[in-house]
Amino acid sequence: MNIFHAFILGIVEGVSEFLPISSTGHLILASRVLGILQTEFVKTFEIAIQLGAIISVIVLYGKRFLVNSEALKRIFAAFLPTAVIGFILYKIVKKIFLGNSHIVIGSLFFGGLFLILFELFYRKKEGAVSAIASISYKQAVLIGVFQAIAVIPGVSRSAATIIGGLILGLRRDVIVEFSFLLAVPTMLAATLWDLYKTGNTFTQSQFALLGVGFITSFFVAILAIKFLINFIKKHSFISFGIYRVLIALLFWFVR
């Protein structure tokens, strides 16, 4: 893995982190295309550079939500089930799931089909929750459970939380923003825990590669967030579902 690889993967991460297409899945497939071997460092890299994209949320939403105690309480409630499930399954995810392109392709394909069918049959509920501070703690915890499904590469953390929120009666723009905010503690915890477990084995040059991926994903993610906020005002997620199915089929037939 070299600086060019780190830069490209940083772009992939920044674009895909907040779109319902699975950033981890795309990083794994992009690494495959670039011929990058799935070493322990590469697996950690694919987790750690997501933090760069997450920092963009703090820059864009920090003043609005992250100083709001009611919003923070809901974020913490949603984070708890994800943290517990992620901690329990850490070794399985790291050793078996990450780097497995078969799991990624299957998750992208079936997740895409589900996204299409969900949007075709979804109907906005009357009295949908219209503010993050109005989310009940029960709803927040259940959203966290939905998010935990994304420990499977290719599922998409944002898709899982957004669909979960829509099912639970949140307005689309509210759950999208809540998904952004929930990513902050989720990916911060995942990155710090993984670096704690493996970071002492990395060389100075490897940390430099992490820095390149981190910075690149940060700037690209800012543009991706702004795109998604504007996109949801006029469109459903069907196009993302179609994209997921097509990219899964492409990688299935050319593997």
What is the residue-level pLDDT of the chain in tens, covering all 255 positions?
A: 899 999 999 999 999 988 998 888 888 888 888 888 878 888 888 888 888 888 898 888 877 776 778 888 999 999 998 888 877 877 777 676 766 778 888 899 999 999 999 999 888 777 788 889 899 999 999 999 998 888 888 888 889 999 999 999 999 989 998 998 888 888 888 777 777 777 677 788 888 998 999 999 999 999 999 999 899 888 889 999 999 999 999 988 876
Model pTM? Answer: 0.84
Domains of the chain: total: 1
Q: What is the pLDDT of residue 66?
A: 66
Q: What is the pLDDT of residue 117?
A: 95
Q: What is the pLDDT of residue 43?
A: 81
Distances (CA, A) of 183 to 56, 147, 157: 11, 9, 8
Domain containing 107 equals 3-254
Q: Which residues contact 153 (CB under 8 A, 6 or more apart)?
A: 22, 24, 25, 28, 97, 98, 100, 103, 104, 107
With left for phi above 0 and alpha for psi between -120 and 50, is residue 136 left, alpha or beta? beta
What single DSSP character describes residue 201? Answer: G
Nearest to 220 by CA among 9, 1, 41: 9
Q: What is the pLDDT of residue 128?
A: 83
Q: What is the pLDDT of residue 234?
A: 87
